[in-house]
Amino acid sequence: MGNAIRKLRIGVLISGSGTNLQVILDGAAKDVLDVDVRVVISNKAEAFGLERARQAGVAAVHVDPTSFPDASAYNIAVREVLVEHGVDFVVMAGYMKLLGTEVLDAFPNRVLNIHPALLPSFPGAHGISDAFDYGVKVTGVTVHFANAVFDEGPIIAQEPVHVAEDDTLETLEAKIHEVEYRLYPAALQLLAEGRLIIEGRKVRIR
C-alpha cells in the first residue's frame, strides 16, 4: 500500500449494480488499494455501476452490444475504450457477457474475474442460487484470471462460505457478497504489488 507502488491502471467491466466496483472505487479513493480506475464499461445502459463510476469521477461508458453487427465488433469496441483510457488490466465485476478474444488477446493474462461460487462448480450467471438449489453445504467465492471460457482460468483466490441449515438464498447472498468485498480488493492489491505469478493453470503468490 501507499505511494511506493505504481498504481495499477484498471478498466472495470460491469453489467449491473456494481457493488464490487464500489468497493474497488472506495479502496482506491482511500488509498488502501493501489489501483487507478480509468474507466468503467457496461454492456447495459441501466447498470447502476455506471452511476457509481460517475459519482466517483471516473469515466463511465455504455457499449451497447445491440448497436454492433456481431459479438466480435462489440468486443473490438470494448477493447478500443479500454485502450483509449490507458488501461493495463481489465477487471470484470459482475460482467455477465462472455469476454471475446478481441479483448483477451489484447490483455494477455491481464483480465480478472470474480465469481460467487467455488469454481469449477456452478459457473454461469447464477452461481449463488445454483449452489443453494443444489443443496451444497459449502460454497464460496473465486477470483481468477479469465480466459475465453465463461468463469474459467487460473485461480488466484478462493474462500469458502458455509451454508447453514437456516440460510435462505438471501442470507447466503449476503454472506457471499461480504466475502467478495474482501477477496477482490485483496487479490487486486497482490496484483498491484506484482505478487501474482501465473504458472500454467496455477497462480503462485510470492
Residue 100 interacting with ligand GAR (CB under 6 A): no
Residue 115 interacting with ligand GAR (CB under 6 A): yes
Q: Does residue 126 have an active-site annotation? A: no
Nearer to ligand GAR, 94 or 100 (CB): 94
Out of 93, 157, 187, 188, point to the residue binding ligand GAR (CB under 6 A): 93
Grid coordinates standing for 56? 466517483
Per CB under 6 A, which of residues 23..52 are in contact with ligand GAR? Answer: 49
Would you say how long the chain is, in residues? 206
* Radius of gyration for the chain, computed over Cα atoms and rounded to the nearest angstrom: 16
Q: Is the dihedral of CA 101, 104, 109, 113 positive or negative?
A: negative
Report the Cα 134 to chain-centroid distance in Å: 25
Part of the chain binding ligand GAR (CB under 6 A), chosen from 67-75, 112-120, 163-171, 196-204: 112-120
Nearer to ligand GAR, 8 or 14 (CB): 14
Per CB under 6 A, which of residues 51..90 are in contact with ligand GAR? Answer: none
103 backbone dihedrals φ, ψ, rounded to 5°: -90, -45
Put residue 151 in one of left, alpha, beta given phi > 0 → left and psi -120 to 50 → alpha.
left
- Angle in degrees, CA 188, 193, 197, rounded to 5: 80
Residue 121 interacting with ligand GAR (CB under 6 A): no
Indicate the residue type of 162. H
Residues that bind ligand GAR (CB under 6 A): 14, 16-21, 49, 93-94, 114-116, 125, 127, 151, 180
* Residues carrying an active site annotation: 115
